[in-house]
């Protein structure tokens, strides 16, 4: 495959800055078609981003002979359906997070990848960002000794500032998103834990709807014990006072601590040698480093940067935290 010709299914807000323009900024990659159910909005997106074709029907995009790779950026309720349809046609697939609403759906997607011998990557794009690779490097260098505990806190107000604008706010409609804001944000955080610490041994948690302002649970707590004996504790609450909001990950070891925000731009290290903070600037299109790795994978030039099997494990953890299993 010489060139990866992309089609986006669901060219909404997520693709405006984070990913859409990145497809044209990577060698051997081009965005050739977009789809949205609202034909006028699809056409507008195509016009603003110099995309040659727009559709209001996913089947039309999937049948476009120029398209050989599909980016699925719809609400999670539709990920499995579109992924299977694309895999059946021999198209390579890139799926937004959360990959599905449940672990059962994620496993069905994994089964389809095997059945159709396809290529599919999940959009846990923080794996490719320099800031989080720096954390991985600090861990590999044993800068804080043996890791003992990881404390994750994501506390936001009832209207989190991290959430992309949406006309319908589908993120708090469990039938579309799988849950609430936890399902939108936690995949980034929990996937990094898997990326850093490997295979989990066991996990459990609980969730509840404290505020009642929408149908989704807004408070989730969970714990993971990894096979290497690292313990992760997480707290996600989306109904606190503005003054008490926090986005924090503390990785604490026998010789010090690494601290960073998942949605920020710095990493702090404190150990026996002292303290230091390194600041980062994320790419203009934050998914571009990941998309670069995906293009290499789809072209047969590199490994899969985030296989569906690892996303299945992630969804099992999220299901356990939200008591779906």
Answer yes or no: is 25 within a domain: yes
Per-residue pLDDT, 141: 98
Query: How far apart, in Å, are the Cα atoms of 84 and each of 76, 144, 256, 314?
Result: 14, 43, 46, 20
Cα separation of 143 and 137, whole Å? 9
Q: Using CA atoms, how far apart are residues 222 and 322, in angstroms rounded to an integer?
A: 9
The residue written with tokens 């041994």 in the block is: 201
Distances (CA, A) of 200 to 70, 127, 316: 31, 18, 11
Sorted by sequence, the CB contacts under 8 Å of residue 111 that are 6+ apart come out as none
Query: What distance in Å separates the CA atoms of residue 265 and residue 278, rounded to the nearest whole number?
Result: 9
Q: 138 and 215 share a domain?
A: yes
Provide the CATH number for the domain around residue 57. 3.40.50.720
Say if residue 190 is in the same domain as residue 174: yes
Per-residue pLDDT tens listing for the chain (325 residues): 589 999 999 998 889 989 999 999 999 999 999 999 999 999 999 999 999 999 999 999 999 999 999 999 999 999 999 999 999 999 999 999 999 999 999 999 999 999 999 999 999 999 999 999 999 999 999 999 999 999 999 999 987 665 655 556 899 999 999 999 999 999 999 999 999 999 999 999 999 999 999 999 999 999 999 999 999 999 999 999 999 999 999 999 999 999 999 999 999 999 999 999 999 999 999 999 999 999 999 999 999 999 999 999 999 999 999 988 6
Are 201 and 221 part of one and the same domain?
yes
Q: What is the tens place of the pLDDT at every residue in 131-156?
A: 999 999 999 999 999 999 999 999 99
What distance in Å separates the CA atoms of residue 100 and residue 70, rounded to the nearest whole number? Answer: 16
Question: Is the Cβ–Cβ distance between 181 and 174 less than 8 Å?
Answer: no
Answer yes or no: is 313 within a domain.
no
Domain count, the chain: 2
Taking the chain, what is the end-to-end CA distance rounded to the nearest angstrom?
Answer: 41
**56 and 182 belong to one structural domain:** no
Residue 186 resides in a domain: yes
Euclidean distance between CA atoms 306 and 68, whole angstroms: 19
**253-279, pLDDT tens digit by residue?**
999 999 999 999 999 999 999 999 999
Q: Are residues 189 and 211 in the same domain?
A: yes
Residue range of the domain that includes 157:
130-282
Decide if 315 is inside a domain. Answer: no
Residue 138 backbone dihedrals phi, psi, to 5 degrees: -60, -40
Q: Give the chain's largest Cα–Cα span.
A: 60
- Reduced DSSP (H G I as helix, E B as strand, rest coil) percent helix, strand, coil of the chain, to 5: 35, 25, 35
For CA atoms 250, 76, 28, 88, the dihedral sign is positive
Same domain, 145 and 198: yes
Same domain? For 277 and 232 the reply is yes
DSSP string, 91-108: -EEEEPSSSSSSHHHHHH
Q: Is the residue at 84 inside a domain?
A: yes
CA separation for the pair 277, 177 (Å, rounded): 36
Burial profile 20-30: b = 16 or more Cβ within 10 angstroms, e = fewer: bbbbeebeebe
Domain presence at residue 69: yes
β-strands 4-9, 69-72 pairing: parallel
Q: How many residues does the chain have?
A: 325
Pair 294, 213 in one domain: no
Q: Could you tell me if residue 243 is inside a domain?
A: yes
Q: Could you write out the DSSP letters of every residue in 5-23?
A: EEEEES-SHHHHHTTGGGG
**Distance between CA atoms of residues 192 and 124, nearest Å:** 8
Question: 253: domain CATH number?
Answer: 3.30.360.10
Domain contains 45 = yes
Same domain, 277 and 135: yes
Tell whether 54 and 157 lie within a shared domain: no
User: Do 16 and 61 share a domain, yes or no?
Assistant: yes
pLDDT for res 159? 76
Tokens 């002292």 locate to: 274
Same-domain status, 244 and 155: yes
């Amino acid at each position: 495959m010489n060139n990866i010709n992309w089609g986006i299914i669901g060219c909404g807000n997520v693709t405006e800055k984070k990913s859409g323009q990145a497809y044209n900024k990577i060698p051997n990659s081009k965005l050739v078609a977009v789809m949205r159910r609202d034909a006028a909005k699809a056409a507008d997106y195509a016009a603003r981003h110099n995309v040659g074709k727009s559709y209001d029907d996913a089947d039309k995009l999937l049948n476009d002979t120029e398209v050989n790779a599909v980016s699925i950026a719809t609400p999670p309720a539709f990920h499995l359906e579109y992924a299977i349809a694309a895999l059946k046609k021999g198209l390579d697939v890139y799926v937004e997070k959360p990959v599905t609403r449940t672990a059962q759906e994620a496993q069905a997607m994994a089964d389809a990848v095997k059945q159709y011998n396809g290529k599919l990557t999940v959009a846990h794009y923080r794996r490719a960002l320099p800031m989080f690779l720096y954390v991985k490097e600090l861990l590999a260098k044993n800068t804080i000794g043996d890791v003992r505990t990881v404390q994750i806190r994501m506390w936001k107000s009832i209207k989190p500032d991290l959430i992309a604008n949406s006309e319908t706010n589908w993120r708090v409609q469990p039938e579309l998103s799988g849950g609430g804001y936890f399902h939108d944000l936690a995949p980034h955080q929990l996937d990094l834990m898997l990326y850093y610490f490997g295979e989990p041994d066991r996990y459990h948690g609980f969730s509840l709807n404290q505020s009642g302002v929408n149908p989704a649970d807004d408070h989730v707590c969970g714990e993971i014990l990894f096979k290497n004996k690292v313990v992760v504790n997480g707290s996600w609450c989306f109904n606190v006072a503005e003054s008490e909001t926090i986005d924090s990950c503390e990785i604490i070891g026998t010789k010090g601590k690494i601290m960073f925000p998942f949605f920020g731009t710095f990493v702090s290290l404190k150990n026996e040698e002292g303290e230091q903070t390194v600041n980062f600037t994320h790419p203009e299109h934050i998914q571009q480093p990941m998309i670069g790795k995906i293009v290499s994978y789809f072209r047969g030039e590199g490994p899969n940067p985030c296989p569906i099997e690892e996303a299945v494990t992630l969804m099992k953890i999220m299901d356990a935290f939200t008591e779906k299993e």
